[in-house]
Amino acid sequence: MPQKSLLSSPDIEINPQLEFDAEHEAPPAISLVIPVYNERESVQALYQQICASMEQVGETFEIIFVDDGSSDGSFKVLKALHAADPRVCVIRFRRNFGKSPALLAGFNRARGQIIFTMDADLQDDPAEIPQFLEQIEEGYDLVSGWKYPRLDPPSKTLPSKVFNTIVGMTTGVKLHDMNCGFKAYRRELIEELKLYGELHRFIPVMARWRGFSITEIKVKHHPRQFGKSKFGAKRFLRGFLDLLTVLFLTSYMRTPLRLFGAVGIVSFLIGFVIDAWVVLNRIYTNDPIHNHPILFLGLVLMIVGVQLVLSGLQSEMIRHFNFNSRDEYSVKQVLD
């Protein structure tokens, strides 16, 4: 990595919030949030393609690039774009935090009523933007891209298929391409979204749970021209753990004792029946306890059962103290 000069501190140079307010009074109609991680060769061309596409749409827009600790000089290119075009905002993280935090930072800064997310690697085609807008106008809150046909190696497409199928089966949200980076949202959805960890993969699940309407459209997909893919097997594995989190968050977080308590009670009862049988056997037939090692299984099941019920109660306590009325429901409209 090149040595940073002490005199020029690039972190301080960009203060998008202030600059934006000073130069424009009205917020733009559309915000495009683009997470960037080592995509030096792509961002300039992407910017030009977006501008060309937005020209056709004819709405005001802003582009928010979130440079997530790139080490390949992406920031330099973004800085030049920002200098040349006030519609370009750049948020630079101090280190690599991940795609979800990058999207979150972009969402927090976005002012448009409609917010797009796009990958920075030129695999998504900005020429599709009008198709997304059409669906938003139809009334959908979230329009998700479906890369079709997807031009990635099978090492990516295959696990992705498995992932989409499993998520569809477990959550009931059936999309062909859940994790497509190209999406359009209504602002209300973004404002209610809680993104952390790697949960960006599950935005449609969380949106559906809150009652937002979702659709998907086929989008053109280009093979990666520059740089490398960042989502390998390691990140993919984590996706499955995150699925557990999402299932829990969207179903049992509000009533944790119902999950832990039910499993705990079942476990306890099975253990109790096993051990009762061993003990009664000893009393009535004089069959010694050590002839029935299953006694230990019964003990374990009872202990685990009690622990689970206690975990459930503790979760309820955490839930109680973290109560936030904003998370309890989602209002579409109020007439008064």
Ligand X SMILES: Nc1nc2c(ncn2[C@@H]2O[C@H](COP(=O)(O)OP(=O)(O)O)[C@@H](O)[C@H]2O)c(=O)[nH]1
The verdict on 123 binding ligand X (CB under 6 A) reads yes
DSSP E strands: which ranges in 195-315? 214-219
Closer residue to ligand X in complex, CB, 218/230: 230
When CB distances are held under 5 to 8 angstroms depending on the partner's kind, the choice from Mg ion, ligand X, none that residue 37 binds is ligand X
CB of 92 to ligand X, least distance (A): 11
Distances in whole angstroms, Cα of residue 13 to Cα of each of 1, 79, 236: 20, 9, 36
Give CA–CA dist 154/321, Å, rounded. 46
- 256-285: which residues touch ligand X (CB under 6 A)? none
- Enter the DSSP assignment of 150: -
Q: CB of 17: closest distance to Mg ion in angstroms? A: 29
Residue 121 binds to Mg ion (criterion: CB under 5 A): yes
Residue pair 249/178 in contact by the 8 Å Cβ criterion: no
Is residue 219 involved in binding ligand X (CB under 6 A)?
A: no
Place of tokens 């021209």: 225
Rounded CA separation 188/162 (Å): 31
Of 150, 161, 230, 319, which one interacts with ligand X (CB under 6 A)? 230
Q: Looking at beta carbons only, is 108 or 314 nearer to ligand X?
A: 108
> What would the x/- binding string for ligand X be over residues 168 to 207, using CB under 6 A?
-------------x--------------------------
Q: Which does 252 bind (CB under 5 to 8 A by kind): ligand X, Mg ion, none?
A: none
Q: Which residues pair with 88 in a beta bridge?
A: 63
**Cβ nearer to Mg ion, comparing 123 with 315:** 123
- Is 62 a binding residue for Mg ion by CB under 5 A? The answer is no
Report the C-alpha gap between 90 and 81 in whole angstroms: 9
Of the candidates 202, 185, 186, which has an alpha carbon nearest to the alpha carbon of residue 333? 186
From the list Mg ion, ligand X, none, pick the one residue 99 interacts with, judged by a Cβ distance below 5 to 8 Å according to partner type. ligand X
Binds ligand X (CB under 6 A): choice among 56, 229, 291, 314 = 229
| Residue 30 and residue 59 in contact, taking contact as beta carbons nearer than 8 Å | yes
Q: Give the span between the Cα atoms of 204 and 189, in whole angstroms.
A: 10
Provide the residue count of the chain.
Answer: 336
Query: With CB under 6 A, what is the number of residues at the site for ligand X?
Result: 19
Choose which of 120, 133, 189, 205 interacts with ligand X (CB under 6 A).
120
Shortest reach from residue 181's CB to Mg ion, in Å: 7
Which residues from 75-114 bind ligand X, rule CB under 6 A?
96, 98-99, 102
Query: Could you tell me the smallest distance in angstroms from the CB atom of residue 230 to Mg ion?
Result: 8
Structure tokens at 100: 């979800």
Cβ at position 109, least distance to ligand X in Å: 14
DSSP 8-state class, residue 182: -
Which strands make up the sheet holding 61-67, listed edge to edge?
A: 88-92, 61-67, 30-36, 114-117, 183-186, 142-147, 214-219
Please give the residue ranges that form the binding site for ligand X (CB under 6 A): 35-37, 39, 66, 68, 96, 98-99, 102, 119-121, 123, 156, 181, 229-231
